Structure formats: C-alpha cells, structure tokens
Structure 1
Amino acid sequence: MAVPARDRRTTRRPRRFELRATALYFTLLAVILALVGAAARTAFAAAVHRPAWAVALVLMGVSAVMAGCREKRRKSAARIARRSAQALEDATQTAVEALDAASPAAAVALAPAGAGAEATVLLPETVPEVPEVPEVPEVLEVPEVPEVLEVLEVPEVLEVPAAPVEIAYEALDPDEFEQAVAELCRRDGCLDVDVVGGAGDLGADVVARTPEGRLVVIQCKRYCDDNRVGSQDLQRFGGTCFTVHGADVAVVVTTSDFTAPALDYAEQCGIVCVDGPQLQRWQEGTGPRPWEGQPWQAEGTP
C-alpha cells in the first residue's frame, strides 16, 4: 500500500517583537527613503539646468525597462517590495546583534572552569556626578536716592487781636490813670512813651512820639462826674505845653467833662480835649486817636 507523500512545508519561527530592532528597522527605512528622495531632487535639478542630461537619463531608463520586460522571469513589484523589506529586516537584525555584542553593559565574564561556576556580569563603572556650579548672583542695582522734597513753609498763624478790655477809669487813682493813658499810646504805635507826671511836671503827665515822629504831650485829669475841667486848668497847661515841652500835639484827657470856657480856650490854643465818653471810644478802638487831629467839639454845656 502506497503511503501518500506528505507535503513538507518549512515552518518559519515567528520572530518576537523587539522595540530596538523595530526602531532600527524604521531608521534604516527612513535613511533609504531620504537617499532616494535626495537622488530624485538631484536628478530634477540636473534636468532643469541641463536638459540634455535629462533626455539621456530618460532614454536609459526606458531602455532598462524594456530590457527587463523581455526577461522570461518577470518579477512583480510586490515581490520586489517583499524582498526589499526582508533584506532590510535582516540587516536590522544583524545590526542589533552587533550592538548587543559590542555593548559594555551586556558583557559577561565567564568564571573559571569547574562545576558550579557562576557567570559574573561586569557592570560599567559609575560615573561620578559633576557638582552643579552655583549661579553667581547678579549685582544688585542700588536704587537712586530720591531728592528730598523742599519743605513747604507753613504760613505763620495770624494773630487775632484780642478784644479790648473795658477799664473803669473812674475807679483808678491819678497815678494809675496816667499809666492807663500811657498804655493806650503804646497800643496805638507810639514810641518813647514815658510817664513824667508828678511835682514839677509843668503840666505834662505823659510824653510820647507818634509813628510819624510828632511829639505828643498829654495832661491827665482823673475827675468825678460832677467835677469838670475848667478854663484855668487849660490855661496853665497851654502856657507850658508848647513853649516849655515843645509839643506838636497837646492833649488833655479827663474822665469827666469840660466847661464851655475851657473848650473855647482849647479851640483858640489848638489843644485837643478828650472827655470821658471820647476816652472810652479811644480805648475801644471805635474813636479817633488824639494826635490824629481835633475832630470832636463840645456840645452845648451850661
């Protein structure tokens, strides 16, 4: 009985997938494609610059194609691609095996011959880490010192004049009354104010000089309301105020009033008479100062 012959088919062991081999395979494929592309660009550039060479290359290519077609055994494009891929894969595998054999990390040192000998793997020496160089800090820029702003001058506080204090001149004694009249002269800007009243004063109780430089001679009469300054008092003062004291302005100040003959004499001699109400207005600042003239006249008196 004849035993049918079995079809012997060679079974190829599938190769296991290796990442490194696959990567190298595609790398070589990319290099080949790059070379083919470079050759194509070179041919195109040559065809542009030298058309005669391009025609020659085309004729040679056509002749090669026709010669290939005449061969009895024609090779299909698919078979050529498979063979190219197979050759590229084999070249990749060979390169991988060569790299594995040459790698110092995979070198194996065999132990001395003998039972139980173990293989010792030689590892590469550890490369010491290079210490990092500390970064040099940049030079800090010193900020410019701003200019000191000029301090604004604070305006001085305006002094508010104090309200005049009412003084009861009738309650003062003669000396205090003279001091009070001298203080009024100082308040209104007079200079060299002096109280000279007393025995032998020749009718001058207060002497002062106005801001304009005129000499003022004042006689003070601190009388009661029922005691008026008469013409005799004015005559005694009028005989010395101008000739003896050299007054520019002669003034008689009283806390009471003047008689009519006294006012007439004062008007003739140019003596300024200041009675009680007029003294009060001078003290309050509502009336004129005595050296500013003789603005007031005596009203009807008996």
Structure 2
Amino acid sequence: MTTPERPTRPLPRGRRFDLRATAMFFGLLATALVTGGLALRALSGVVRQRPVWAFVLVCVVLAIVLAHGRRRRWLSAARIARRAGEALEQATTTALDALEAPAPALATAPAPAPPTAHADGHGPGRALGQETGHTSGYEPGHDFDALSPEEFEEAIAALCARDGCSRVQVVGGAGDLGADVTAVCPEGRRLVIQCKRYGDDNKVGSQDLQRFGGTCFTVHEADVALVVTTSDFTEPAEGYAAQCGIVCVARDALLAWSDGRAPAPWAACTGGPAA
C-alpha cells in the first residue's frame, strides 16, 4: 500500500538582500542621529530660557509617535529618514526663532553701594572727613566716660575732622591690626590712631603699645602714630612709646585737646619711629 504524497506549500519568497539600500539606510540613520544631536544641543539653551518650548516639543514628538502607531503598514527606510529629517528641520527652525527673539527682562535689585575703602586701601571703613562736615559723636566738653568703645572712636575721628584732617575714617573692628582711626593731617602726613576707652583704674600698658607699635608704621604706614585713652599710661608704656615715636594722649591731654585748650596732638610730632 502506497502513501499518497502530500502537496508541499511553496516557501514564501523573502526580500532579496540589497547592499545599496542597506548602506543608504545606515547612512541616513547616522545623518539623522548627528542632526538630532545638534538640534538637541541648540534646543537646550532655548529650554533653559523658555521652558514652554520644551512642552511644545514633547507634544510634537508624542503626536508623531501616535500617528506612526496608527499606520498598519511598514514605512520604507527612505520615508522614515525623510520624515525624521522634516521633523528635525522644523524643530531646528523653531529653536532658532526662539533664540532670535529677545528674552524677557528680569527685574534686578539695585546693586548695593560699595563699602568705603580705608585710606591705605585695606578694606572697608566708616568715612568721617572734613569734606563731609560730619561731626557725629563729638560735642565740646563731651563726657568720654559715657561713650561706648565704638562711640569713643567716632568722637576721636570727629576731633580729627574738626582740626583740619581729611579722609578721616573709623576702621576699628575685627582684624584692624591696631588701627581704629586713620586720617591725613592738614600738612599731608598719614595719621593712625588707636583708641583705648579704659576706666581710671585700668592704665594702658606696655603690651598694648608693643602690639600697636608692631603694625602702625610697617603695616598701616603711619607718619604719625597716636594712642588716645580716657585713662593713663604706665611708665614702661610711655618709655616704649618714646623709643618708637608713638604719641601718647592720656586723659588730661585728651580733655585739653577736646576743649581747645591745647593744639592737636600731631602738631608738635615729627612722626615716624625713632632711629
């Protein structure tokens, strides 16, 4: 008994391999990737300035994806490359238009006024000069004992301005390196003052003078260096000041200067450290 031969179906004929079409596909794909990278790079700046364009581009991409999903037949490689190129060209044109459009002006707060520089150029200070006519913190016969250390510095600066100094500044504070007031004497010498608001039972000692003497001439470049106090000086402090050329203004001398009974302390000072 023979078995009937079953008819066989012919195998479906597949597409033949086309090297030219494959090379064209990969070439177009590489071009699309490079163009897309350049477009994304151009769009990144637009997105930072105008975030609304990012939303528009996302909507465009979603619409393209949805439209592509509804199609029931495969598109050829050439059509995919052509449509991708058109979409990228449109996106690039939109990005360039957005870059050419002026960005909205942002409200900016006014810049703060720069701090007043020291007369020696070392940082900020509170200006108090004869040219401003400002004498805050000083009155004739003022009770210096009632002032705070900061107010005492302001009063000494006002005295300097009253007696003809220019470029008077209160520079005391953290990191002042011993200088509380700086000014330029009427004859043009640079004046550096350290203020000591002490009580009667607390005299200015030699250590205070040594610290000031180490910076007043070398760091602050003083021509005349003064130490003004509401108290008095110890004998070692006065001896050190005489050796270094520092003028000591004790309580009695300060009151006489303030009341106009004595000339300004720098008037009889030759200035500079002793040889």
Task: Give the TM interval when normalised to the shorter protein.
Answer: 0.3 to 0.5
Which structure carries more relative contact order (alpha carbon 8 Å, separation 6+)? 2
Task: Name the TM-score, length of structure 1 as normaliser.
Answer: 0.43
Q: Which has the larger radius of gyration?
A: 1
